[in-house]
Homo-oligomer: A and B are copies of this chain.
């Protein structure tokens, strides 16, 4: 038993730590959060956080995983909407982030972590490459796939940056569907059109 009285090996402990980390990062940003604060929020011993996570960056990526869960976007892109594939990806990505912002996650905290630490940015890039691109319609094995992946990422991250951080209207005020109509053709070209 830890000083807090929790079970070190309980199946839900890791999930509770991730949930606590999401709240602490949303409240404190990346620089302001600490593993100690996350442990306190989760009601567990700090050693238990160190048992499950390699450090703050590792915990941050885990905490960011849910808003970035590719299945949330996949559910949108697989729908019966008549919109283009690009429009549906934009709509799914922003709907996912709108929901995450509404439940305590923060795109700003995610971005602040990447800007403050190259190891966090590296981890996020690896996370996107490993978990997101495996579920997209961008053809695997094509020699120009990295270019297409990077360009799609650039427009999606730029839209989220403009919507949630710089808050430039009307990108900050429009619905995900509207933004999908504006930027969808961009992603369509990056995915399957002529590039370069």
Contact = CB atoms under 8 A, between A and B. Distances in A.
Interface in A162-184: 162, 165-172, 178, 181-183
Interface residues of A, number: 46
Contact of A147 (B125, B128, B182): B182
Given A31-B31, A182-B196, A189-B185, A154 B171 contact: yes
A46 B88 CA distance: 52
A122 to B, nearest CB: 8
Given A31-B116, A108-B115, A161-B161, A154 B183 contact: yes
Copies of this protein chain in the complex:
2
A37 interface: no
Contacts of A162: 150, 153-154, 157
Interface of A: 29, 31-32, 108-109, 111-112, 114-116, 121-122, 124-125, 128, 146-147, 149-151, 153-159, 161-162, 165-172, 178, 181-183, 185-186, 189, 195-196
30 contacts: A29-B31, A31-B32, A108-B115, A109-B115, A111-B115, A111-B161, A112-B116, A114-B165, A114-B166, A121-B167, A125-B166, A128-B166, A128-B168, A146-B168, A146-B169, A146-B170, A147-B170, A150-B170, A150-B171, A151-B183, A153-B162, A153-B168, A155-B155, A156-B158, A157-B166, A158-B158, A158-B159, A182-B196, A185-B189, A186-B186
